[in-house]
């Protein structure tokens, strides 16, 4: 028995060290890529990182907490708009960043507190409703640039390389965040809530607090992403609140595997790469392809690609 | 035995991850090397333009029109021998690479990166009004001169270091001729006083064009001294399909001039519904797009007498030589006909204009160097074509002569049994008459 | 404000609301009874409008075009049902949302590819009649009349026919219904088909009163949801009331706020409704 325990532990250490070394190797590759690839390759990778960050955040709230949010890009739009608005008012970059960040966190807390009282389909549609209302406000308010949107002064826009590293860093931090959340006691509480809310509250989980907390936590990466968005693209238009981005976020996470750590990454990589490259060579069908992939995956592999792989491969 | 299985499968999972990563990275690097191309100057055969357009998505109709125009004009230029570039000492054919950006600004940005860094195009030609913000940011960032149909307020913030130019005046200029026309009617001694316009209702779209154009309308109304006649200013949602509420509000103000100021894809339905609801006006104005075929088709007989600005001619910025050879708008327009396109839209014409200005600048610069070409674009501007933007010049259709720095008012009239746009205002510009017909006033269906 | 203007806004809202109610009726049937989130609902509406447009171009008489379009939409829905939607009915809500979204995207892009993305409208009837100072465009009146007729037909079916009784039985108590030898699966399929038929017919009418473009489909889906929710899930009368309320709200919103918010009105109404009274106005169903 003791010998077997030792071997199990040894395997665990072996797995963990392999995982660590693989991760380090991967990060090293990602760091050097901008020097090898042309700017387009870097830009494509930035698009992938963008999608990954969105997908992981969505996964936190939908996959682990079971709260399906159709409007999770509220934080994205709010932070971009707030940030650029403050900068155009002449406020210093760092201060603008902080204010924008805390503003969006407060907004997430506010919206979350109101909305998490409802469940399932309603939560999904209400989060969408909030986003659509935000879009209407952005579209109609003169100070927010109406349909023109808001622009960052061109001198403040980051180069592709700088944006790449910022996005890479954010993506790694987001992944680490999701890893920590999932493997903590808080993560267990989330798991309990996802399985059965009644049972969870029966064992003493504070439903409201837990759900609110995950709502806020999962929108933090998105808020920061909004600020990076401002630096990379240099402008924002009301569409950032739209259904389009929300859909991309969800589909990446779902196709990859909701409720798994690596699922969102794999889903984002596959969907972003394929729709971008498809769009180049077969214009007109990239969205169609999206729809078909979604249907196929949901029919054949409802747990998502990585979800399927990880259930097949026993621990 | 459990131990053996678990260690085997544990490594398999990690192996799976590694395999995926290696495949993706290897694939990307291989792809990169295969797409790397270098062409020596002496062997250069083509000037390649990089184009990103919304071929799908919400702006697909714009993308379709602009892409067909690019195809037509590049073919035309090649048939004339191509574009002479002094640096290479000979005429080079022009070609283009077109990517679909699915109306997504992020994709526009990525496509431009790709065109510049992988396809290594000589020049970018990303004229689109849908996501011109993204194009502008890339132009400013990478210092590539870009010509566009439509300007952005943010352009004015660039303070001299401008790489993004518009060949179309600011939206605020658009309503000018229509308001001049109203003034002309008011001042006209031959029109009885009770028929003169007294109450103008302005309805404008919520999008960037509508809002800016409406601001311009107010400005020009004030300049012409008729702003006291405005009794209603209502905004409709851009892309709206049901205008009944807005029309109801307008009808409450009892106007006798209906001034529709927005994208013609919206205003054609706006005016249609307003007429359906029985609004009785002496004059109907539609600022943008009154002369398009689609407008006439949607409105049918209800379109008779509508006034708007004239811009959708195949006639282009200047007469005479383009890139060193004589050109003719009729020849170009003929090619649209041959493709089964019976009318050109504003998108076609503005793309045509942008392309002509860009190639003329390249021709005059004699090089493909971005800064040199940009300087030539600025010079063209000073010549009267552009400042930071150029006004679309009207050309006399037969002589090709340049006729004016702003839009003229056209009116839909029955010509030979069909509804056609005819220029009714102004009477004279630059010393010769351009007016083709007398304006029909008031609206034929008006009941005093 | 001038009372006749107020009346005009009111009439506009009611006429529009009738068609909205029809559009939401099908969703109430599916969502309220089976809790099936069909995010492609709005696209069945769009599809019908485009089909009518195409048929009219080909010279088919308008009324026949509307009927054919509705039948075609039903066929498409039936096909979707056979090819996989039937399995979604008991499935997780996530699977329903994602799969129906997938179908919605496919329909949207097909519409875009075939008919291009520019705005279209169906011109069948024109002109307006005036009653006092109120203008009533004829196309709106006829669309509203047909909506009401279709709704009445639906209610008639529910109350008088065996099928209708079976549907009501299943909606109230699925297990009990199956004990009474009601073929629950068959009823489910019929309900889905009826939902598509209602959506399709609503689409043929909507295409005449407002212009449409492929991307409006999402808006219609969520508007239908808002109406169904407002009226109370599981309550068909509620859908009618919800439709009228939303129609009136949108009409008057132009007066009270600006026209730029029209497409956000029903979202706002939805938000308020779910938070204050989750069961809706006439709600009998359970909130999930």
Residue B1 lies in a domain: no
Touching partners of A (3+ C-beta pairs < 8 Å): B, C
B contacts of A22 (beta carbons < 8 Å): 14, 17-18, 21
Domain A47-312, what architecture? Orthogonal Bundle (1.10)
Q: What phi and psi, each to the nearest 5 degrees, are found at residue A80?
A: -65, -50
Region A208-227: mean pLDDT is 93
Please give the tally of structural domains in chain B: 2
Which range is most confident: A7-11, B239-243, B380-384, B439-443? B439-443
pLDDT, greater one: B352 or B400: B352
Contact B245 C213 (CB under 8 A): no
Q: Where are the domains of chain A?
A: 47-312
Cα(B366)–Cα(B396) distance, integer angstroms: 30
Contact A285 C109 (CB under 8 A): yes
**Whether residue B331 sits in one domain with residue B308:** no
Q: What phi and psi, each to the nearest 5 degrees, are found at residue C43?
A: -80, -25
Q: And the tokens for C118?
A: 């520019």
Q: Per residue, what are the HEC states of chain A?
A: CHHHHHHHHHHHHHHHHHHHHHHHHHHHHHHHHHHHCCHHHHHHHHHHHHHHHHHHHHHHHHHHCCCCCCCCCHHHHHHHHHHHHHHHCCCCHHHHHHHHHHHHHHHHHHHHHHHCCCCHHHHHHHHHHHHHHHHHHHHHCHHHCCCCCEECCHHHCCCHHHHHHHHHHHHHHHHHHHHHHHCCHHHHHHHHHHHCHHHHHHCCCCHHHHHHHHHHHHHHHHHHHHHHHHHHHCEECHHHHCHHHHHHHHHHHHHHCCCCCCHHHHHHHHHHHHHHHHHHHCCCCHHHHHHHHHHHHHHHCCCCHHHHHHHHCCC
Touching partners of C (3+ C-beta pairs < 8 Å): A, B
Q: B253-263: string of b/e by CB count within 10 Å (b at 16+)?
A: eebbbbbbbbb
Residues B102-154 pLDDT 10s: 888 888 998 998 888 888 899 999 988 878 888 988 888 888 998 887 767 66
pLDDT at residue B16, rounded to an integer: 67
Cα(C58)–Cα(C54) distance, integer angstroms: 6
**Whether residue B323 sits in one domain with residue B291:** no
**Nearest Cβ partner of A136 from C106, C261, C275?**
C261
**Whether residue B61 sits in one domain with residue B141:** yes
Calculate how close chain A gets to B210, using CA atoms only, in Å: 10
**Whether residue B290 sits in one domain with residue B417:** yes
pLDDT at residue B407, rounded to an integer: 67
Residue of B nearest to A159 (CA): B141
* Chain A interface, best mutation among B26, B101, B114, by max A CB count within 10 A: B114
- Interface contact B331, partner C, CB < 8 A: no
Touching partners of B (3+ C-beta pairs < 8 Å): A, C
Calculate how close chain C gets to A87, using CA atoms only, in Å: 27
- Interface contact B60, partner C, CB < 8 A: yes
ipTM: 0.84
Q: What is the CATH number of the domain that holds B263?
A: 3.40.50.2300
Q: Which among C62, C45, C107, C54 has a CA at the least distance from the CA of C80?
A: C107
DSSP B440: P
**Nearest Cβ partner of B61 from C116, C139, C216?**
C116
**Whether residue B247 sits in one domain with residue B148:** no
**Whether residue B275 sits in one domain with residue B182:** yes
Residues B173-189 pLDDT 10s: 788 888 989 999 999 89
Calculate how close chain A gets to B205, using CA atoms only, in Å: 11
**Nearest Cβ partner of B248 from C8, C128, C140?**
C8
**Whether residue B80 sits in one domain with residue B62:** yes
**Whether residue B381 sits in one domain with residue B291:** no
Contact A139 B206 (CB under 8 A): yes
Cα(B364)–Cα(B359) distance, integer angstroms: 8
pTM: 0.83
Residues B249-284 pLDDT 10s: 899 899 999 999 998 888 998 999 899 888 999 999
**Whether residue B299 sits in one domain with residue B216:** yes
Confidence band for B394, pLDDT divided at 50, 70 and 90: very low
One pLDDT digit (tens) per residue for chain C, 288 residues:
677 778 888 998 999 999 999 999 999 888 877 778 888 999 999 999 999 999 998 988 888 999 999 999 999 999 988 887 887 777 777 778 888 888 898 898 888 888 877 778 787 787 778 787 777 888 889 999 999 999 999 999 988 888 888 888 777 777 777 777 677 788 888 889 999 999 999 999 998 888 888 888 988 999 998 898 888 877 888 899 999 999 999 888 877 877 778 888 889 988 888 888 777 777 654 443
- In DSSP terms, B318 is beta-bridged to none
C contacts of B298 (beta carbons < 8 Å): 121, 123
Calculate how close chain C gets to A198, using CA atoms only, in Å: 13
**Nearest Cβ partner of C117 from B61, B206, B249?**
B61
* Chain C interface, best mutation among B130, B252, B445, by max C CB count within 10 A: B252
Calculate how close chain C gets to A149, using CA atoms only, in Å: 15
**Whether residue B198 sits in one domain with residue B160:** no
Residue B204 lies in a domain: yes
**Whether residue B179 sits in one domain with residue B87:** no
Region B27-33: mean pLDDT is 61
**Nearest Cβ partner of C263 from A128, A136, A243?**
A136
Residue B32 lies in a domain: no
- In DSSP terms, B98 is beta-bridged to B51
Its sign, for the CA torsion B442, B443, B448, C3, is: negative
Find out whether B405 and B397 touch, Cβ atoms under 8 Å.
no
**Whether residue B425 sits in one domain with residue B277:** yes
Residue B221's domain spans which residues?
172-313+407-433
Confidence band for A314, pLDDT divided at 50, 70 and 90: low
| Number of Cβ within a 10 Å radius of residue B187 | 10
Residue B401 has pLDDT above 60, yes or no: no
How far CA C112 is from CA of A285, A287, B292, C213, in Å, comes to 11, 11, 22, 8
Residue B8 lies in a domain: no
Region A100-127: mean pLDDT is 89
Q: And the tokens for B281?
A: 């006006």
The DSSP code sequence of C217-271 is: HHHHHHHHHHHHHHH-TT-HHHHHHHHHHHHHHHHHHHHHS-GGGHHHHHHHHHH
A contacts of C271 (beta carbons < 8 Å): 126, 129-130, 133
Residue of C nearest to A299 (CA): C84
Residue of B nearest to C110 (CA): B56
- Interface contact B211, partner C, CB < 8 A: no
């Amino acid at each position: 028995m003791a010998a077997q325990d030792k071997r199990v532990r040894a395997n665990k250490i072996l797995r963990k060290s392999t995982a660590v070394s693989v991760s380090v190797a991967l990060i090293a590759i990602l760091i050097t890529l901008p020097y090898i690839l042309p700017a387009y390759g870097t830009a494509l990778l930035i698009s992938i990182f963008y999608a990954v960050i969105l997908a992981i955040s969505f996964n936190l709230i939908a996959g682990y907490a079971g709260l399906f949010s159709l409007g999770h890009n509220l934080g994205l739009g709010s932070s971009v708009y707030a940030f650029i608005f403050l900068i155009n008012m002449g406020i210093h970059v760092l201060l603008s960043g902080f204010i924008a960040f805390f503003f969006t966190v407060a907004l997430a807390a506010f919206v979350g507190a109101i909305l998490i009282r409802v469940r399932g389909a309603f939560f999904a549609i209400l989060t969408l409703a909030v986003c659509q209302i935000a879009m209407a406000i952005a579209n109609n308010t003169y100070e927010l640039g109406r349909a023109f949107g808001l622009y960052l002064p061109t001198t403040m826009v980051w180069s592709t390389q700088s944006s790449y590293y910022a996005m890479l860093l954010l993506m790694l931090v987001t992944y680490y965040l999701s890893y920590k959340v999932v493997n903590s006691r808080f993560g267990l509480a989330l798991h309990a809530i996802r399985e059965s809310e009644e049972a969870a509250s029966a064992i003493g989980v504070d439903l409201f607090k837990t759900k609110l907390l995950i709502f806020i936590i999962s929108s933090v990466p998105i808020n920061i992403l909004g600020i990076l968005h401002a630096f990379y693209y240099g402008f924002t238009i009301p569409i950032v609140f739209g259904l389009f981005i929300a859909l991309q976020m969800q589909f990446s996470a779902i196709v990859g595997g909701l409720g798994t750590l690596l699922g969102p990454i794999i889903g984002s990589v596959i969907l972003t790469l394929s729709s971008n490259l498809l769009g180049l060579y077969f214009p007109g069908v990239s969205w169609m392809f999206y729809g078909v992939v979604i249907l196929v995956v949901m029919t054949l592999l409802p747990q998502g690609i990585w979800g399927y792989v990880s259930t097949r491969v026993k621990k | 035995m459990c131990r053996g299985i678990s260690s085997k499968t544990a490594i398999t999972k990690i192996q799976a991850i590694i395999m995926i990563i290696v495949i993706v990275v290897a694939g990307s690097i291989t792809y990169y090397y295969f797409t790397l191309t270098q062409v020596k100057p002496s062997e250069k055969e083509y000037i390649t333009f990089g184009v990103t357009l919304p071929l799908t998505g919400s702006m697909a109709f714009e993308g379709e029109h602009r892409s067909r125009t690019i195809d037509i004009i590049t073919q035309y230029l090649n048939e004339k021998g191509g574009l002479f570039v002094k640096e290479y000492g000979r005429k080079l054919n022009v070609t283009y690479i077109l990517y679909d950006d699915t109306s997504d600004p992020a994709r526009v940005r990525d496509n431009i990166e790709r065109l510049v860094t992988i396809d290594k195009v000589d020049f970018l030609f990303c004229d689109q009004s849908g996501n011109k913000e993204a194009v502008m940011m890339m132009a400013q960032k990478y210092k590539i001169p870009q010509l566009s149909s439509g300007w952005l307020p943010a352009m004015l913030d660039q303070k001299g270091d401008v790489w993004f130019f518009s060949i179309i005046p600011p939206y605020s200029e658009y309503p000018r001729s229509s308001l001049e026309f109203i003034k002309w009617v008011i001042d006209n001694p031959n029109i009885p006083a009770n028929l003169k316009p007294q109450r103008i209702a302005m309805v404008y779209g919520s999008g960037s064009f509508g809002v800016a154009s409406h601001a311009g309308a107010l400005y020009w109304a004030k300049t012409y001294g008729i702003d006291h006649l405005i009794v209603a200013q209502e905004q409709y949602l851009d892309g709206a399909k049901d205008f009944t509420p807005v029309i109801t509000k307008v009808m409450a103000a009892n106007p006798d001039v209906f001034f529709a100021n927005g994208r013609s894809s919206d205003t054609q339905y706006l005016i249609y519904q307003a007429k359906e609801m029985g609004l009785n006006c002496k004059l109907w104005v539609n600022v943008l797009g009154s002369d398009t075929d689609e407008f006439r088709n949607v409105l049918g007989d209800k379109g008779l007498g509508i006034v708007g600005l004239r811009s959708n001619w195949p006639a282009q910025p200047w007469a005479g030589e383009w890139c060193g050879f004589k050109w003719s708008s009729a020849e170009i327009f003929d090619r649209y006909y041959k493709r089964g396109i019976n009318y050109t839209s504003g998108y076609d014409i503005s793309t045509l204009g942008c392309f002509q200005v860009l190639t003329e600048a390249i021709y005059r610069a004699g090089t493909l160097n971005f800064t040199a070409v940009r300087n030539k674009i600025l010079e063209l501007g000073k010549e009267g074509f552009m400042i930071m933007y150029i006004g679309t010049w009207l050309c006399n259709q037969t002589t090709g002569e340049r006729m004016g720095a702003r839009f003229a008012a056209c009116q839909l009239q029955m010509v030979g049994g069909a509804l056609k746009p005819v220029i009714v205002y102004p009477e004279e510009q630059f010393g010769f008459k351009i007016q083709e017909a007398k304006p029909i006033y008031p609206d034929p269906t008006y009941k005093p | 404000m001038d009372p006749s203007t107020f009346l005009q806004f009111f009439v506009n809202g009611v006429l529009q609301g009738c068609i909205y109610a029809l559009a939401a009726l099908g969703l109430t049937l599916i969502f309220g009874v089976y809790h099936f989130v069909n995010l492609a609902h709005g696209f069945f509406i769009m599809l019908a409008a485009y089909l009518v447009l195409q048929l009219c171009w080909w010279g088919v008489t308008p009324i026949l075009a509307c009927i054919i379009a509705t039948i075609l939409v039903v066929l498409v829905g039936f096909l979707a049902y056979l090819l996989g939607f039937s399995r979604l009915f008991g499935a997780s809500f996530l699977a329903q949302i994602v799969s129906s979204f997938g179908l919605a995207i496919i329909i949207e892009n097909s519409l875009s590819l075939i008919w291009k993305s520019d705005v279209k409208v169906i011109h069948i009837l024109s002109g307006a009649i005036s009653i006092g100072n109120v203008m009533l465009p004829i196309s709106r009146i006829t669309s509203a009349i047909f909506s009401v007729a279709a709704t009445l037909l639906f209610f008639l079916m529910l109350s008088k026919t065996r099928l209708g009784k079976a549907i009501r039985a299943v909606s109230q108590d699925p297990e009990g219904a199956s004990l009474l030898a009601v073929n629950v699966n068959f009823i489910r399929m019929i309900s889905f088909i009826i939902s598509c038929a209602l959506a399709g017919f609503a689409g043929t009418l909507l295409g005449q009163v407002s212009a449409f473009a492929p991307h409006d489909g999402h808006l219609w889906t969520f508007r239908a949801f808002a109406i169904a929710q407002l009226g109370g899930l599981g309550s068909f009368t509620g859908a009618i009331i919800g439709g009228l309320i939303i129609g009136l709200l949108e009409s008057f919103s132009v007066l009270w706020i600006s026209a730029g918010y029209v497409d956000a009105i029903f979202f706002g109404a939805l938000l308020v409704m779910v938070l204050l009274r989750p069961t809706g106005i006439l709600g009998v169903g359970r909130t999930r």
